[in-house]
Amino acid sequence: MPRCDLAVVGAGAAGLSVTAVAAQLGLAVTLIERGRMGGDCLNVGCVPSKALLAAAHAAISAREAGRFGVHPGEPRVDWAAVRAHVRGVIDAIAPIDSQERFEGLGARVLRGSARFVGANALEVDGERIEARRIVIAAGGRPAVPTIPGLDRLAYLTNETIFDLVEQPSHLLILGGGPIGLEMAQAYAGLGCRVTVIEAGRVAANDDPELVDRLREILSGQNIAIIEGAKVVGAATGPTLTLADGRTIGGSHLLVAAGRRPNIEDLDLEAGGVRATEGGIATDRGLRSVSNRAVWAIGDIADPEGIGPRAFTHVAGYHAGIVIRRMLFHVPARVDYASLPRVTYTAPELAQVGMTEAEARAAGHQDIDVLRWELAENDRAQAERATRGLVKLVARRGRMLGAGILAPHAGEMIGQWGLAIATRAPLSTLAGMIMPYPTLAEAGKRAASSFYATRLFSQRTQRLVRWLWRLP
């Protein structure tokens, strides 16, 4: 019977991070993956979606180049070449996540499905493996809503849409979250007609003030957005029927209605591992609440019932917590107060910490909301990208949250997460020396606006007049 120090189930971002560190520290590690190495992020998630968006943004830039006096005309989209580009990006990154690399690091890699057969034991396609510690990083999959007729359609999810050989003429997207909006802009940018149908409002977790501006931009790019629309039926076509009686038809249907954890095939009960609807129940240190030999990380972890956070950067964050706790016995626990998230449309929508509404709902009534329009930023003017905003939420001179709608907002949001995590005062942020001209100056200006009222007050004016008399 094979025995090891550590068994890791899932070779996505979370599982690979733990495996790499543990194997290089000399532990006997068995890594188990039933699908493709690299998991969703590499194969059907972050990497192909951003590669597709890059192609779309190139086409959009060509169409909008006239604002600079450059007139290249309507771009010709070679769909086969676009698909080859996406595949090429995946292939370039794949060796980093490959079985060969991790075997070279000293891990044993098994390709198959794992299930618990004991508190410290797994079975992989008939082979029993015992491990002192087990890390479950089995990820998640697309959630498919219960809609009459949907199960009879050949709908797409993020797991299949990148395999499309033909270019859709009219893509219906069910769901207006980050995946739905990114794919909407990607396919519209490449010349497809797109309709997004959302039961609530699009980008529901983000600040409505920023979302309103993004919605306006997307609506001007051949994207129809229908919000507050409950889908009550689906038929071949595909055609969706809404609760108000409207029907919407298209050539293809993408279901982007959220994620659910991959827990069903693990036989968690046999391992004494408690689960919730959100995934494996853990403490804030990501250790199972019912089996201390088991840890859960990534999309499948539900620490203290606060729900999973399905981001690749969270997978890496979780891996770091488990490495510190499990290998070094250093206290570490999940804290999402400064967790950033980004929707990679153009412009990008980035958020960290609390939105204005979340801060008020948490009882912070004495908040300061600081804004700086991109129209007042010189770099944005130079690039004719002025339809954005930096919005900061502060309390008593310290950051609670930040939202940015701007080109490269994902590159800008990190400093505000650091400000929240370190409780840096607004005076420090306002005093940053930013290179000119950059979009990041907009954030500094927003922070500086906190002091503008008192700086130019009559009291300050009187003080300056008095100081001016001094030799």
Residue whose tokens read 């408690």: 274
Cα distances from 168 to residues 84, 88, 171, 436, in angstroms, run: 17, 21, 6, 43
- pLDDT, residue 455, reads 79
Alpha carbon distance 41, 38 (integer Å): 7
Delineate the domains of the chain, giving CATH numbers in brackets: 3-37+98-142+260-328 (3.50.50.60), 150-257 (3.50.50.60), 340-455 (3.30.390.30)
pLDDT bracket for residue 173 (50, 70, 90): very high
DSSP 60-98: HHHHTGGGGT----SPPP-HHHHHHHHHHHHHHHGGGG-
pLDDT surpasses 80 at 1: no
pLDDT surpasses 80 at 164: yes
Q: What is the pLDDT of residues 402-448, one digit of tens each?
A: 999 999 999 999 999 999 999 999 999 999 999 999 999 999 999 99
How large is the angle between the packed helices 13-24 and 312-322, nearest 10 degrees? 30
Residue whose tokens read 């409950």: 230
Q: DSSP secondary-structure letter at 461?
A: H
pLDDT bracket for residue 454 (50, 70, 90): confident
pLDDT bracket for residue 90 (50, 70, 90): very high
- Across residues 333-345, what is the average pLDDT? 97
- Across residues 376-383, what is the average pLDDT? 98
Cα torsion 396, 400, 403, 407: sign: positive
Least confident of 95-99, 291-295, 356-360, 454-458: 454-458
Retrieve residue 306's tokens.
Answer: 């606060």
- Across residues 202-210, what is the average pLDDT? 97
pTM to 2 decimal places:
0.94
- pLDDT, residue 457, reads 83
- State the Rg of the chain over Cα: 25
Q: What is the pLDDT of residues 231-276, one digit of tens each?
A: 999 999 999 999 999 999 999 999 999 999 999 999 999 999 999 9
- pLDDT, residue 41, reads 95
Retrieve residue 186's tokens.
Answer: 């990607």
- pLDDT, residue 239, reads 97
- Across residues 169-180, what is the average pLDDT? 97
Alpha carbon distance 252, 155 (integer Å): 7
- Across residues 312-327, what is the average pLDDT? 96
- pLDDT, residue 233, reads 97
Q: What is the pLDDT of residues 115-162, one digit of tens each?
A: 999 999 999 999 999 999 999 999 999 999 999 999 999 999 999 999
CA triplet 109, 115, 121: central angle to 5 degrees?
80
Q: What is the pLDDT of residues 7-54, one digit of tens each?
A: 999 999 999 999 999 999 999 999 999 999 999 999 999 999 999 999
Cα distances from 153 to residues 78, 82, 150, 174, 260, in angstroms, run: 28, 26, 5, 13, 20
pLDDT surpasses 90 at 459: no
59-91: burial string, b at 16+ Cβ within 10 Å, e else = bbebeeeeeeeeeeeebebebeebbebbeebbe
Alpha carbon distance 146, 258 (integer Å): 13
- pLDDT, residue 452, reads 85
